[in-house]
Structure 1
Amino acid sequence: MTKHQALQLFEERKVRTLWDAEQEKWFFSIVDTIGVLTDSLDAGAYWRKLKQRLKAEGNETVTNCHGLKMLASDGKMRITDVADTEQLFRLIQSIPSPKAEPFKLWLAQIASERLDEMQDPELSIDRALERYLQLGYSENWINQRLKSIEIRKELTDEWKKKE
């Protein structure tokens, strides 16, 4: 299992992260994230209390969080609770913090967009085009990419028909 540790900065504060190549996911230290969002003097105690409250509410996110070894402030590798991106966003929703509010608004916007796309799938194509342009891809590249996706879908549909 290939893992890569890194530090991410949010408002000049460190958040320990770990990339798991096998799962193709980033994992974030929950205590570090809570420390950034709450400015708590004891982010570990805040996390223990939040975890207790969420478990009592029946929140599955806490159950799905697990421990991974990360470099601690004392220079040793210690097990710390981590969350993948989806779990982290769900936890952030449970933290009353002005710093968490931008995350909450962003999540609400994304959810609204996805619901709109379920009603009108063409919106997801428009969003993909816009995103590719933001990433700096040329219109020619984008058109070729969309055509290759369409061709691949037609091919897999044909294969399914012949089974």
Structure 2
Amino acid sequence: MTNLNVGDPAPAINLPRDGGGMVDLSETKGMKVVVYFYPKDDTPGCTKEAIGFTEQAAAFAEAGAVVWGVSKDSVAKHEKFRAKYELGIPLLSDEDGTVCEDYGVWVEKNMYGKKYMGIERATYLIDGDGKIAQIWRKVKVPGHVDAVLESVRAL
């Protein structure tokens, strides 16, 4: 597991997104980027989080930030998820898990005594120089989007 800290250079991101095309972190120089990792499309917590970021998309843009959601779901699953809830943020597909590994969010989880590997809900704020400005691990969805937005505005 990668152990990233505030001030570290953000690992590369170059992933396919819903709607087609690729998203590349190296093309965001000078912009703030919010990358939130979530376990699975169309599950209760992930849906609430995606809707929350969508509702605040204009405020993030006003603060000079782009927001990307990342999971291991396929582009096709992302497109269904996006259409079902009218989501307004790009959803990136990390099917092979490389970016999840690079950001240290592919972790051992434990549910009902059963251990398995999965994505830890986490958010990274990357500054205009490509460095990690803030990290939220083991995110609880209520209030999270507002906390991230506050940090973006303060950056």
Please say which structure displays the higher CA radius of gyration.
1
Structure having the larger proportion of residues in helix: 1
Both structures adopt the same fold (TM-score exceeding 0.5): no
Give the structure with the larger strand fraction.
Answer: 2
TM-score normalised by L of structure 2 = 0.28
Q: Which structure has the higher relative contact order (CA within 8 Å, separation 6+)?
A: 2
